[in-house]
Each structure stands twice: as C-alpha cells, then as structure tokens.
Amino acid sequence: MVAGKGQEYRRNLAGIAKGAGMIAPNMATMLGLLATDAYVEPNEIHNTLKRIADRSFNRIVVDGDMSTNDTLLLLANGDKYDIDAYHPVAFPFHATYIAEKLARDIVRDGEGATKFITLRIDGAPDNETARQIGNAIATSPLVKTAFYGGDANWGRIIAAAGRSGVAVDPAKMSLTFQSDDGKDALKLFEGGVPTQYDESAATALVKADSVTVILDCGMGSESATIWTCDLSHDYISINGHYRS
Amino acid sequence: MVAGKGQEYRRNLAGIAKGAGMIAPNMATMLGLLATDAYVEPNEIHNTLKRIADRSFNRIVVDGDMSTNDTLLLLANGDKYDIDAYHPVAFPFHATYIAEKLARDIVRDGEGATKFITLRIDGAPDNETARQIGNAIATSPLVKTAFYGGDANWGRIIAAAGRSGVAVDPAKMSLTFQSDDGKDALKLFEGGVPTQYDESAATALVKADSVTVILDCGMGSESATIWTCDLSHDYISINGHYRS
C-alpha cells in the first residue's frame, strides 16, 4: 500500500480511501469511496452511510486537525436488484467492516506515523463520554510523543483523561497495555496508583508496531474505540515545509 | 534566562515562574509565585489572583496538554500596611503586568519552541468565544508546524478557526500578520479569499523570532489574546524520550 491509501473488497462491496494528515473525528482531508452493485433505497443508503462513518472514519485521529473538505461516498448502481445483494443487516455490517479497515489504514499511513494505537475506553457512562475521553488522549502531543519514544508512560494517558472535560476519578480507573494479538497484557495503573508492573515488559508492548491501550474509567458499562498513531519527527518535517 | 524560568519585579511586587511543556489554558506543569509586602485582605487577594491568572497563565499554550499539578501563588506578608502599598486598581494592574510577562516567558522557553506567537482574536461576540477560536488555532499541530517551517500558511489558521466549534463565517474574516513592533503588517486573507499579498513579505514576518497574528472574525467587538509557540523537532525529541 502506498502512503495514505487503502482499498478493500468484501462481498458485493468495494472501498478505497486516501488520507494521511489533518485527520481527526469528523473526518479530515480524506477521500473515501465505497461502491456496491446492490440496489439500496436512497434514504436507506444515506442513513447507512452516516452509521458507517460514525463507526469508522469518525473514530480516527492522526493529528487532531480536521479538514473542511473531507468526502466519504457510498455509491450503489442498483445493478443487483435482489434481496441477497442488499440485506438490511448484512449490508451495513460488511460496509462497516470495509470502512473500519480503510479508516485504520489511513491511520497506519498517517503523516510520520511509526506506530498504530488502538485506544479502547471502557467503563464509561455512555458512548459519547467514552469518545470524549478517547479523543483527549488521542490528540495529546505528550501521549503521542511518548508512544513515538517507546515509553510506557501511563501518567500522560491518565493526565490526558483528566483534562478531557469529563469528571473522571483516577481511583476508579485502570489502564492496561495489550499486544494486538491479545496474548500479552499488562495492567499499569489501578486504584489511583501505578501497579508493580515489569517496566521491560511494558516497554516491549509499547515498542511494537501496534499496541492496544485499554482505559477502564469505572463509571459505567459503555465503550468506544479510537484508532490513532504517534507523533514523530517526520510529522514535523512533513508539515513544517509544505504549503497546504 | 534559563529554560522555562522567568522573573520580574515591579513596585512592591515580585514574581517568579517556571514552565516549559504541558502548557495550555488552565495552566500546566507550572510553578508561579507572586509576592508582595503590601497588606491585602485574604478575600481580596484570592479574587485578585483569579483575575490575574485568567489574564496571564490561562492565556498561554505550548502544546495543548495540561498538567494536574500547576501552582500559582500570590503571597502577601502584610508588611506594608498602608494605602499606597495596596491600591485596589494599581495592585491588580501591576500584578497582572508581572504575571503576563512571566506567562510570555514560559511560552518563549516552551519545549522546543523556536518562535513566539501573539495570537489576537478580534471581532468576536464575546471574550469566551474569542478564546475558544484562539485555543483551536494555538493547539493545531498544522498551524504550529507551519510557523516552525516559516510558512505564512493562512489556510491552516482559517481552517483551525473553522473547526473550533464556533460558527465562524470565512467571508467575514480577515487575517493579518504583523511584526511585534507593529511597523510591518500584511493582510493575507479577507472576505473569504486570500489577498494579493507579497509572499516574500509574509514569509519575512513569519520567519522572525516573534510574530503577531490578528484574526478578525467579523462577528462582534470582543477580543482575546493568546500567547503560543511553534511545534518543532526538538519538542518531539524532548518528549519522546523522557518519562514525566
């Protein structure tokens, strides 16, 4: 894959997207195109697209900046006018699968990104609150530079959650770093204090190309996942000398 | 001055502060101390300090991150119990002067900062709205990297204002870059489009050690000033390899 582009096929759906920088929820300087030969009612396709975007391209953060000219299109030429081509549950499911894959690809190809971070906020009172906490963490330069440096810096993550505007309680929080295959997991923070974790094991998790960060807020049962990347020297080089 | 520190004396007031990174409105990893030998009523000193902080340390942005352990103290030992030492107008005036100076010093010494930016938001319906727009611009990685690169990138500033959450209208906006001595000023954007400005003159303004950016929103008559800095390779180096 070349930088900032992704493509994906699944059943009678195809998708392609390009991004790179200026990526934050509510999309970005991004072009995304999903196409299908299924017949879908115009009203239905519009609602489906909004739900898909909300679960994919609106869950990614490269740098916290947003563009004024993002585009995500879902085109249906109506060629296959049959119930199998468009199923009211299966179609959104597969379309969301494609859109999520493309959204993650955009983050992986983010400007200067060296690391892919899956940020899961658990234990929130509602989804919106979980996303608010997640966005504060995902846009924090201190969090992003720590990941770039391979530093398992739980303090910066907890601090970013603390300034998210949500009245979080550190004493109720727990923070876990996990390998993307789920095999290795390490709890770094719980009950308001760091655990007696193994620093070298934590560093190994953070130094991998991708890592999953799970912050349980202990405030409820809702979750949200946000995909983001680190902030590197290359991001500065790319954007310091380029007229957009 | 050494990095991240400042000191200032004025009348019967003295101030000292240290900062560096993790600086955003609502203060930061910052220690600030103002001291006076004037006698000030405890209730009065508390209210004065809140007003001072709001006009100084809460107007600066280095990286948009905030710390949980900022401190600004105003100490009065009450030694000079006379009307001249504490004047209800003069005291807050001079204290604010000192606090603003220290706040600007912290930004000048911001982690990796190579440029000091005075960001004035004019034409806002109220002060809070002006600050909201200003903070969006001051925390934008794209705006900050453009200043680092010496790029007079009006588009990134207008775009950041556009995603600030305030319903701004680009057609009503104008954007001016000005040298800190006020002698050189250049309007780059007006009425929704860039002006026919001289690119080399704009670049000269931006390449200076400090620059004033004036964004008139055309929505009212209120203003706010925010002091910020650029985002450089050194910020990444400092924070990528340092456990806070």
- The ipTM value here is 0.76
Task: Collect all residues from A whose CB is shorter than 8 A from any CB in B.
Answer: 21-22, 24, 26, 63-68, 139-142, 145-146, 148-149, 151, 153, 155-156, 159-160, 162-163, 231-233, 235-237, 239-244
Q: Which contiguous run of DSSP H or E holds residue B106?
A: helix B90-108
At residue B207, the pLDDT reads 94
At residue A48, the pLDDT reads 86
| Among A176, A153, A200, residue whose Cα is nearest residue B244 | A153
Decide if B21 and A148 are in contact by the 8 Å CB cutoff: no
Q: Which contiguous run of DSSP H or E holds residue A164?
A: none
Instruction: Compare CB distances from A153 to B26, B162, B243 and report the shortest one's residue.
Output: B243
Q: Give B236 to chain A, closest Cα distance, Å.
A: 6
Instruction: Compare CB distances from A159 to B67, B156, B231 and report the shortest one's residue.
Output: B67
At residue B92, the pLDDT reads 82
Decide if B142 and A240 are in contact by the 8 Å CB cutoff: no
- Asked whether the whole model's pTM tops 0.90, one would answer no
At residue A1, the pLDDT reads 27
Active site residue A29: yes
Instruction: Compare CB distances from B156 to A142, A148, A244 and report the shortest one's residue.
Output: A244
What residues of A are in contact with residue B160 (Cβ under 8 Å)?
65
Q: How far apart are CA B236 and CA A181, in angstroms?
A: 29
Decide if A22 and B142 are in contact by the 8 Å CB cutoff: yes
Strand partners, B17: B6, B32
Lowest-pLDDT range, A5-14, A49-58, A67-76?
A: A5-14
CB neighbours of residue B121 within 10 Å: 29
DSSP one-letter string for chain B: --TTEEEEEETTEEEEEE--SSB-SS-BS-EEEEEEEE---HHHHHHHHHHHHHHTGGGEESSS---S--EEEEEEEEEE-STTT--TTHHHHHHHHHHHHHHHHHHHTSTT---EEEEEEEEESSHHHHHHHHHHHHT-HHHHHHHHTT---HHHHHHHHHTSSS---GGG-EEEEE-TTSS-EEEEEETTEE----HHHHHHHHHSSEEEEEEE-SS-SEEEEEEEE---HHHHHHHHT---
Q: How far apart are CA A205 and CA A210, in angstroms?
A: 8
At residue B131, the pLDDT reads 94
Lowest-pLDDT range, A36-45, A79-88, A129-138, B138-147?
A: A79-88
Q: Give A224 to chain B, closest Cα distance, Å.
A: 22
At residue B115, the pLDDT reads 95
At residue A96, the pLDDT reads 86
The answer to whether A24 touches A31, Cβ cutoff 8 Å, is: no
Dig out the tokens for A150 from the structure. Answer: 């391979």
pLDDT at residue A12 is higher than 50? yes
At residue A120, the pLDDT reads 97
As a whole number, mean pLDDT of residues A70-82 equals 77
Decide if A244 and B21 are in contact by the 8 Å CB cutoff: no
pLDDT one-digit tens code per residue, A173-223: 999 999 988 899 999 999 999 999 999 999 999 999 999 999 999 999 999
- pLDDT tier, A8 (very low <50, low <70, confident <90, very high otherwise): low
Residue ranges of chain B with pLDDT lower than 50? 1-4, 25-28, 244
As a whole number, mean pLDDT of residues A32-51 equals 84
Decide if B65 and A163 are in contact by the 8 Å CB cutoff: yes
What residues of A are in contact with residue B153 (Cβ under 8 Å)?
243-244
At residue A7, the pLDDT reads 63
Helix (H, G, I), strand (E, B) or coil at A8: strand
Instruction: Compare CB distances from A64 to B141, B148, B153 and report the shortest one's residue.
Output: B141
The whole-chain average pLDDT of chain A stands at 85
What residues of B are in contact with residue A160 (Cβ under 8 Å)?
65
At residue A243, the pLDDT reads 58
At residue B1, the pLDDT reads 27
At residue B226, the pLDDT reads 93
What residues of A are in contact with residue B244 (Cβ under 8 Å)?
142, 153, 155-156
At residue A11, the pLDDT reads 59
